[in-house]
Every structure is written in C-alpha cells, then in structure tokens.
Structure 1
C-alpha cells in the first residue's frame, strides 16, 4: 500500500472531495487527521470501519491560532506529519456590481488565507523530517468565471502559493502541488446551483446539460476523479513533480 504508516491531514474532510480522499488514503494504509468546521462524526465513523487510526479537529482555517493548535495536536498524537491535503473551500457567488465586501472577504479568507495558514503550520514539521507532500485545491475557475471574481482570485492565488512554496520547500524534501477540479458533483455543486441566478444563469440544469454535451468525456466529475489525482500527487510516484497544477476537468 502506497501510504502505509503515513500520516495525512485532510482539511474539509467531512464531506465531498475531502471525505472521499480521506477514505481512499485510509484504504491504502494512511492514518488520518480530519480538520473541518463541519460535523466530522460521519467520516470518522466511516474511517474507523476501515481499521485506520483517525482523529478529528474542529478548525476554522482562517484563524491562525486554531490552525497551529490543530497541527500541533496532530503531531503530538501521531509523532509525524507526512501529507497535507487542503480541500476546505467555500463559494459566495455574485456578479461584480452586486458582490458585497463580505462575500469577497469570506471567499478569499477561507480559500486563500486558509491555504496559506495550513501550509505555514504544517511545513515546519515536514521540514524537520526532511520529507512531505502538500496538495492544495485550486479550481478551473482560476482561469476566470462569471459571477465568481472572488473565487477565481482565490483559486488563482492558490496556484501562486503552490509554485512559490515548491521553490521554498523543495530543498527541504517537500513536494507542493495543486489540483484544479472542473465541474464536480458534490454538495458544493448544490451551492453552485442555488446561486446560479446570481451568475446570470436562468436554468442551472439546462446549463449543466450543455456543459456535459461540450465536455469530451460527456459527464460531470465525481469526487473520486479528483481524489485519485490527489493521491497520485501525495505519493512517492510523484516525487519528481512539484510546483504544478493538475487540471481535472474531463477536458483538455
């Protein structure tokens, strides 16, 4: 198993891509620390059924003190931190003439500042061990998305963090990469559906069907599609890959 005796922190691990990633890591031998502001009881129970060792921490990734404390507790419990996967994220969609300062701040804080803070907290432990894998979650929206100037800015920033930290942490034995998902059917896609009108989309289902017809693979993505890509970048198979963003969109 690729992750036997490895310790992985998965933020946003209570559901969606994060939960699926945690489950696949556990099946391949990893010990898991779930960080989330949401209820983690369901994913913890699922992981315990696999026989893996798991802990959960309630963490607001926008709060530096909470992030540092949770990472410190993880290290104290397991004695090592080998993998960091940051899946936590939020949407607050709106067109530019309607977007509020709060909608901008929340999305930037969770998606961008949160990525910075969790990397800042975990990197010293990995540096001390001389090895580590960090995988951040960007988005296809980093290339631009109507009604998502806040999200696009945050996810483009994640790619900047990825490249910069790959240069800074590479000499310390740490690989830093990102995944940029396209349309993935998760609970967040329900948020996207509910905010469609704010992005000028009158019929979300019709827009989704049009997307599928124009996608070469003719479907939307599943959490597993992203999770398997994450596992590759978190594995030793990707030891000579760093600073890259892998787009998982079903399209070129």
Structure 2
C-alpha cells in the first residue's frame, strides 16, 4: 500500500479498474486510465490447422476458452452454459475447447463435470498454447468466451477479436464496453444468460456476420499506438517540476 501511496500516478487499464482502485482508497486524481492494446501477428496461420490437430470436424461449431484454467475465470460456468446449449440445439455438432495451463486441478474438475453433464464427447482440452498455435485456435473458433468473475481488461478477448472471431465476455471484464454489440456480446455472470447469448451467436447468422464485420473495426481502435503515446505523456508529466500526473 505504501508503494501506491507514494506513486506519482497509478495506471488503470479500464474504467472498471479505476472504480476498483478508487473503492480501495486510491485518490481518483492519481489514477490514469490507459487501456491495453493488441498486436496481431505479421502472418496468420492457415485456417483449419487447429481443428485438424484436435480432430475437430469442419462442420462443428467451436466454442473456445483460452486462458488460465482458474476459478477466477469461471471455466465451470462456461461448461454449464455449453451443456445447456447442447440440450437446446440437439443435432448441432458442437465442441468446447479449453486451452491454457491448469491451476489447482481445475482441468480434472472440468473433465468430471463434463461427464456429469453428458458432454465429455464435446469437451476437449488443448493445454497451453503460444505463438502461431494460439492464433490458430482463435482463427478456427466460431466464438470465444471469457466468463471471468473479474478481469481488469481481458487481453484474450482482444486477441480473439483481432483474429476476426466474435466474443462473449461477462460484465465483469474491463474490455466489455469496447466490444459490446460491435465485435461481441456482454453477458451477466450467470449460467443461463451466458447460455442464451452463446446459443444466439451460434445460430443467428445475421448476428454473426455483424459481429465478424465489427471485429475488423474494433481491432483498428485496439492497437498499441494510442496507449504508448499516453504512457510517453504520462512519464513526461511525472518528470515535470510541476509534478502533473493526468494523461488522458
């Protein structure tokens, strides 16, 4: 806490994080908002590589979770929502892929839950993915879901959008206002609501086309150029004899 008190400025990556810092006792005048950015790869992996690696049929609708398999990110909520969609859309070939490192045995818990929900055949675990493998996963997904209990920004959602894949994020993700109804949908942190939104994106072709087109537009506004300039101005202000800290 002493480090925060003596800092000239504290950077928040979203309005949500600013509110959380203020609620924690940090003076608002000291908090500067600077979103994160996303950098797409110089070259894209060929479509279909990720599906081929995991043996996923071309006709299957792929729902992707990519990130740490941790309680905070609520992969269990997504699994329950997916199971609801599976029941609603009987006959639609579906796959739910969990990609990312396992924390605290969450993967085993998810595998057990999938069996209880009669979804073992549709749920796959890809393990940690990096570099081109990560981008291949985004590219081959039909929808990316970040169902976190709390996320100061949500870099993986930005990466999915940069890959042209519509996203679903919960209201607790800081990036939500930047994506809502443009490149993705925002859901409440509730199984039934996530299931409702997921079902809609997977079946409403007009909505999918709208969100896919929005991905390109939103990606242009999520680059690192603006955040870098903001940080340069902030550093300059902190070095100034006047000691100003505001940089917006």
- Which has the higher Rg, Structure 1 or Structure 2? 2
- The answer to whether TM tops 0.5 is no
TM, length-normalised to structure 2: 0.24
TM, length-normalised to structure 1: 0.24
Structure with bigger RCO (C-alpha 8 Å, 6+ apart):
2
